[in-house]
Amino acid sequence: MIHSAKIIWKVTDDKQKLRYEIGIFKKWLSDKSSSTCCAFQDLALTKINTILINLLFDKQCLSTIHVTMNKMKSTHTFINDLAIRTISVAEEIAQTYLQKAIDEKTKILNNGKKFKKLPTVDTIITAIENRQTNMVHRAQYNIARILHIIEMK
């Protein structure tokens, strides 16, 4: 059960870090037209950067580039499409983190019949969920503060 709890907390942390990067990336995309905006590399969004690189070197995405250039669409349109796809992939990854947490909770509940001593499985699940909730609230608070600071600049 301790191993499952650690997995749940790890995927919760990973999901919140990814949500942070998504929030910062979206903010950067909306502000990049302003002259005070920083460069993408300055943001240090490692997961978003990895997703972007994977999309750029994906064969299907490369064929999209070819089609885009043949249709004489602007580079700006292509970059916007790539940014939207990056956010979409990041959101999908965040959902897989959520699913991993759900799977681990299910595993704990299924193995709960083996344990007859205190604390009960329900007590352990409640403690895990309380910490998970606190992690999410803290991450959301930090993201909101950082985005507010960015808006003030």
pLDDT tens digits for range 26-72: 888 887 655 555 677 777 888 999 998 888 887 776 666 556 555 65
* pLDDT at 112 (0 to 100): 73
Residue 109 has pLDDT above 60, yes or no: yes
* pLDDT at 67 (0 to 100): 60
* pLDDT at 153 (0 to 100): 63
**90 near 51, Cβ under 8 Å?**
yes
* pLDDT at 66 (0 to 100): 58
* pLDDT at 22 (0 to 100): 92
Could you list the residue range(s) of the whole structural domain that residue 133 is in? 2-152
pLDDT tens digits for range 136-151: 999 999 888 888 877 7
**Highest mean predicted confidence (pLDDT) among 13-17, 63-67, 73-77:** 13-17
Please give the Cα distance from 77 to 69 (Å, whole number).
Answer: 11
CA 42 to chain centre: 19
* pLDDT at 28 (0 to 100): 83
Closest to 65 in 3D by CA, of 86, 51, 74, 48: 74
* pLDDT at 118 (0 to 100): 62
Q: How many domains does the chain have?
A: 1
For 52, the token pair is 């972007």
pLDDT tens digits for range 78-97: 778 888 889 999 999 999 99
pTM: 0.76
Helices and strands in the chain: count of H runs, count of E runs:
5, 0
